[in-house]
């Protein structure tokens, strides 16, 4: 089958995109960049709007200007910058969220939080929801998008996070969410029907052990409480009566570490609450639902 040729612009050019890509793949492999081929395809799709399906079946010629844009992006990839920061967006649940540098990148496993809430709340009357440490806003906005009658509040201590989460809500035309700068530890008591959070749960001593793409680019405040990783969970459990309505539920993500056992012990030692644990696709404990004992 003969391959078709498509020039991206009218300017003369003899530079084949596939030749450029192959050279970069060699460099990325030498630098031992994880999933370098997939990340390269994502950059090309974003910058040139050429999907993977067409990239290897057509001959695309690129201009000097396009080469410069690609060089700039691939230079960041060679430095192990997350591709989600390079292209400035991440797909989460049903939508695309802005994730520029300085914003915590949503992980696919965090989508389980949304699934748990979706499983518990179907044709429900209006509920109030608090998303603690909202970051890009992906969790709270996804919930608000699923439940138009819910009133969602997203809080974070980062000015950058508030700015980006607000932009994401506007871009996705989600109006039933209020995103504000607020420290949960200094928040005036107010009770919600649903509380959700993917808190910073890493022990500060774990940070140096992380992949460079994570420890050098994800915000430290989104990774660790700068202590033992339990600060947020202790607060959630010890202040549940001040945060949660009596018939409400709290859902928070938990780490794949000994911290999870300590969280379970804290809940077990509180006679007023009980919990249900949900596992992710890899069968790891990923989400805990906490609610008042009937």
- Rg of the chain (C-alpha set): 22
What does each C-alpha distance from 6 to 23, 54, 59 come to in angstroms?
21, 11, 6
Spell out the domain ranges in the chain: 5-80, 104-292
**Residues 54-88 pLDDT 10s:** 999 888 999 989 999 999 999 999 999 999 999 99
Q: CB of 155 within 8 A of CB of 130?
A: yes
The reported pLDDT for the residue numbered 14 is 67
pLDDT of residue 13: 55
Q: How many CB atoms lie within 10 A of CB 73?
A: 22
Burial 164-174 (b: 16+ CB within 10 A, else e): bbbbbbeebeb
pLDDT digits (tens, 9 = 90+) for 176-185: 999 999 999 9
pTM for this one?
0.90
Nearest alpha-carbon partner for 195 in 137, 232, 250, 274: 250
Total count of residues recorded for the chain = 294
Nearest Cα to Cα of residue 107 among 249, 291, 284: 284
Tokens of 171: 């871009």
Do 196 and 135 meet the contact criterion of CB atoms below 8 Å apart?
no
Residue 2 confidence (pLDDT): 39
Strand order in the sheet with 244-253: 177-181, 151-156, 128-132, 192-197, 244-253, 285-292, 273-279
CATH code linked to domain 104-292: 3.40.50.150
The residues, ordered by sequence, that sit 6+ positions from 25 with a Cβ below 8 Å of its Cβ are 36, 37, 40
Below-50 pLDDT ranges, the chain: 1-12
pLDDT of residue 9: 42
Residues 252 and 133: their CA atoms lie apart, in Å, by 11
């Amino acid at each position: 089958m003969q391959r078709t040729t498509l020039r991206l612009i009218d300017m003369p050019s003899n530079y084949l995109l596939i030749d450029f890509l192959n050279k970069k793949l060699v460099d990325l492999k030498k630098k031992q960049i994880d999933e370098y081929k997939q990340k390269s395809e994502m950059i090309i799709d974003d910058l040139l709007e050429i999907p993977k399906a067409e990239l290897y079946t057509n001959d695309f010629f690129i201009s000097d200007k396009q080469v410069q844009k690609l060089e700039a992006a691939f230079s960041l990839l060679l430095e192990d910058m997350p591709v989600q920061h390079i292209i400035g967006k991440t797909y989460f649940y049903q939508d695309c969220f802005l994730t520029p540098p300085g914003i915590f990148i949503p992980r696919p496993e965090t989508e389980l939080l949304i699934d748990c809430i979706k499983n518990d709340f179907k044709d429900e009357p209006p509920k109030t929801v608090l998303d603690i440490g909202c970051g890009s806003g992906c969790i709270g906005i996804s919930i608000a998008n699923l439940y138009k009658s819910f009133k969602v509040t997203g809080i974070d201590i980062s000015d950058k996070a508030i700015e980006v989460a607000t932009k994401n809500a506007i871009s996705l035309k989600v109006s039933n969410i209020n995103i504000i700068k607020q420290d949960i530890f200094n928040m005036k008591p107010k009770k919600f029907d649903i509380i959700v959070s993917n808190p910073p749960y890493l022990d500060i001593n774990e940070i140096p052990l992380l992949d460079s793409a994570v420890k050098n680019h994800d915000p430290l405040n989104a990774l660790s409480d700068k202590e033992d990783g339990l600060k947020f969970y202790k607060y959630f459990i010890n202040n549940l009566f001040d945060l949660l309505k009596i018939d409400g539920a709290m859902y928070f993500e938990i780490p794949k570490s000994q911290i999870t056992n300590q969280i379970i012990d804290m809940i077990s030692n509180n006679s007023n609450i009980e919990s249900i644990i949900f596992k992710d696709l890899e069968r790891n404990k990923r989400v805990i639902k906490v609610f008042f004992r009937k």
